[in-house]
């Protein structure tokens, strides 16, 4: 398998309401289509990547076939990033978030109110995809990777595009 535990996956999914809204937001804020979803590899098996991500059903851990992930990278639909700090216990830390509900409230707050809503947070009661991965990287780096500090906003408002432009992650593509 080509990729390893702790690598971040940023997706370009422009389908559906959320994908289109996030793409629109990216164009508004970052002046590019950008990324609409984030996940992390927490284990590598013979033919599968075990991936943790926050999706509509909450924070989940699923097996993705290796050929599928690697194919989407080749197509340019997924970019792979590596944290610039060492990570430990990625899988066990991901397990602690498993089952946390999806933060549906945060997407419209980010989109409609932007920086005016930065004082609102629910901690880890609910998670959006990029928030979940940002929090996981913070934990796994022994608090050395801090996107909240880098972007001057709560984790609830960290976007996939923020992770992509972060100075704390090196992206392969």
Q: Per residue in 26-56, pLDDT tens? A: 898 899 999 999 999 999 999 999 999 999 8
Share of residues in the chain with pLDDT > 90 (%): 70
DSSP 84: S
pLDDT digits (tens, 9 = 90+) for 91-131: 999 999 999 998 776 666 666 666 655 666 777 888 989 99
CATH class of segment(s) 8-171: alpha beta
Q: Answer yes or no: pTM beyond 0.75.
A: yes
> Could you state, in order of their start, the residue ranges of all structural domains in the chain?
8-171
Compute the Cα dihedral for 22, 28, 33, 39 and give only its sign.
Answer: negative
**How large is the C-alpha radius of gyration of the chain?**
15
Which is nearest to 144 in space by CA: 96, 88, 99? 88
**Quick check: 98 and 59 in contact, CB under 8 A?**
yes
Confidence of residue 15 (pLDDT cuts 50, 70, 90): confident
């Amino acid at each position: 398998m080509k990729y390893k535990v702790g690598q971040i996956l940023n997706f370009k999914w422009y389908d559906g309401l959320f994908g289109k809204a996030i793409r629109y937001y990216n164009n508004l804020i970052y002046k590019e289509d950008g990324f609409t979803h984030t996940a992390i590899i927490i284990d590598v098996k013979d033919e599968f990547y075990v991936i943790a991500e926050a999706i509509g059903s909450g924070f989940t851990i699923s097996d993705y076939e290796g050929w599928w992930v690697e194919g989407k990278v080749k197509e340019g639909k997924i970019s792979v990033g590596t944290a610039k700090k060492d990570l430990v216990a990625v899988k066990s830390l991901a397990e602690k978030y498993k089952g946390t509900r999806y933060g549906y409230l945060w997407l419209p707050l980010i989109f409609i109110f932007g920086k005016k809503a930065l004082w609102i947070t629910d901690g880890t009661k609910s998670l959006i995809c990029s928030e979940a991965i940002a929090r996981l990287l913070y934990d796994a780096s022994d608090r050395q990777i801090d996107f909240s500090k880098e972007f001057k906003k709560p984790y609830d408002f960290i976007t996939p595009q923020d992770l992509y432009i972060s100075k704390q992650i090196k992206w392969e593509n």
